[in-house]
Amino acid sequence: MTVETQTTPGAAASGTGSVLEIRGLHVTVGEGEDAKEILRGVDLTVRAGETHAIMGPNGSGKSTLAYSIAGHPKYTITGGTVTLDGEDVLGMTVDERARAGLFLAMQYPVEVPGVSVSNFLRTAATAVRGEAPKLRTWVKDVRTEMQALEMDQAFAERNVNEGFSGGEKKRHEILQMRLLKPRIAVLDETDSGLDVDALRVVAEGVNRTREDGDVGVLLITHYTRILRYITPDFVHVFVNGRIVEEGGPELAEKLESEGYARYVKGSTEVAKA
């Protein structure tokens, strides 16, 4: 089933800023007889200034979509296209995608022993920009963003994600996004494992990025609680590897009260047919 994104009142005007376009995307995991199709024809357009929420039950393929966009080698693209401002994303290496302006906040950020947060952030900024940021300006920017995310300045000298709590890991992901200033930010279950206070802080970081107006946000979640803090322009219901319904913020409220059962049942019936 193909569902096209419709422009709604209050959404960012099209034709300006960056555009991520996904058309007919099919993705498998595994090889040979063990290969399993996860994405079954995804169509989605994310424009600068828009926030899209991808919602669906566990195992529906939401994270596969995120990692496929980012270029994770575990996933094999078997059909479809992904472009950013007309450029073929699927033909880019992972680092080329980052330099092009794609950012992924991971659901389970990995530890990087022996590398401090400050060194990691500056190295990442240098790789994305093609040159090292001026040290005085950079230090000021890092301190400002850390303060906004209610992070102790000593955090910068800790090893990346080593011994971090769930909330610290997610704040660090948002800190990266704020400093790297991507064109399209894909946030994979950023609300996972957060308490109420951490959720508020993380959401405020995302909202500051949205206010910049030149970033498109793709927010992946299966809970509606983060949408109480971040109001999406579009909500997409993701079931069985495809988008099965779209709408505005009101669709999230509907999912809160009704759940995903009818979508899962309908998707199963279509698959059997």
**Nearest Cα residue to 252 out of 269, 273, 237:** 237
Torsion sign, CA atoms 173, 175, 180, 184:
positive
Q: What is the mean pLDDT of the chain?
A: 89
The pLDDT score that the predictor gives to residue 223 is: 84
Q: Taking the model in full, what pTM does it have? A: 0.88
* Domain edges within the chain: 19-114+182-272
pLDDT tens profile 34-81: 899 999 999 999 999 999 999 999 899 999 999 999 999 999 999 999
Average pLDDT in the 102-120 region?
92
Torsion sign, CA atoms 149, 150, 154, 159:
negative
pLDDT tens profile 180-217: 999 999 999 999 889 999 999 999 999 999 988 789 99
Phi, psi of 244 (to 5 degrees): -110, -15
Query: Using CA atoms, how far apart are residues 49 and 209, in angstroms rounded to an integer?
Result: 9
Query: Using CA atoms, how far apart are residues 64 and 70, in angstroms rounded to an integer?
Result: 10
β-strands 216-221, 184-188 pairing: parallel
- Return the CATH superfamily for domain 19-114+182-272: P-loop containing nucleotide triphosphate hydrolases (3.40.50.300)
